Each structure stands twice: as structure tokens, then as C-alpha cells.
Amino acid sequence: MMEIKILGSGCKNCTTLTKVVEEVLGELNMEATVEKVTDFQDILGYGVMKTPGLVVNGTVKFAGRIPSKDEVKKVLEG
């Protein structure tokens, strides 16, 4: 199963990114585990300096901005 992590402190942008990811998963009828990572040391461990960040199966796909739904779809469809 796909593993998705949202990196961030829980700010508005992080919440927005979570909603975008959940909407795309629903539209694609995909299942994935979605985890919020809020610990700063864990976020730094991914090399992300600006949040929000999106990690899919251990790879950072976006950082420092909210990607569009189309961008997220492309990443999740692989």
C-alpha cells in the first residue's frame, strides 16, 4: 500500500495539502496510509527546510508549497 506523509507543523498550508491529497485519493479511488509528520527533527530528516512537504513512499515529491491537484494526481498515479 502507498505511504503518504504530510510534513509540517499543522499550519493552514499543511491542512490544505492534506485535503488536496485526500481529495485526489478519492477521485482516483486509491487507498493509501496518510500520516502527518509534525516533529521538526523528523521533517529535517527528509531534507525539507520549508513546509508543507509531501512524501510518497519515502521520497520527497514537493516541499515549501502546496502542489495543485493535477500535480498530486501525476505523482500518485506514478
What span, in angstroms and rounded, lies between the C-alpha atoms of 13 and 28?
22
Domain enclosing residue 17, as ranges: 2-77
Please tell me the predicted confidence (pLDDT) of residue 70: 98
Q: Which of 7, 14, 55, 72 is catalytic?
A: 14
The domain total for the chain is 1
Q: Is the pLDDT of residue 78 over 90?
A: no
| CATH assignment at residue 54 | 3.40.30.10
Q: Tell me, yes or no, if 11 is annotated catalytic.
A: yes
pLDDT bucket at 4, cuts 50 / 70 / 90: very high
Q: How far apart are CA 75 and CA 55, in angstroms?
A: 10
Of 2, 3, 11, 44, the catalytic one is 11
Average pLDDT, integer, range 46-63: 97
Helix axes 69-77, 12-28, angle to 10 degrees: 50
- Position 57 scores a pLDDT of 98
Tell me the three state secondary structure of residue 61. Answer: strand
Residue 25 reports pLDDT greater than 90: yes
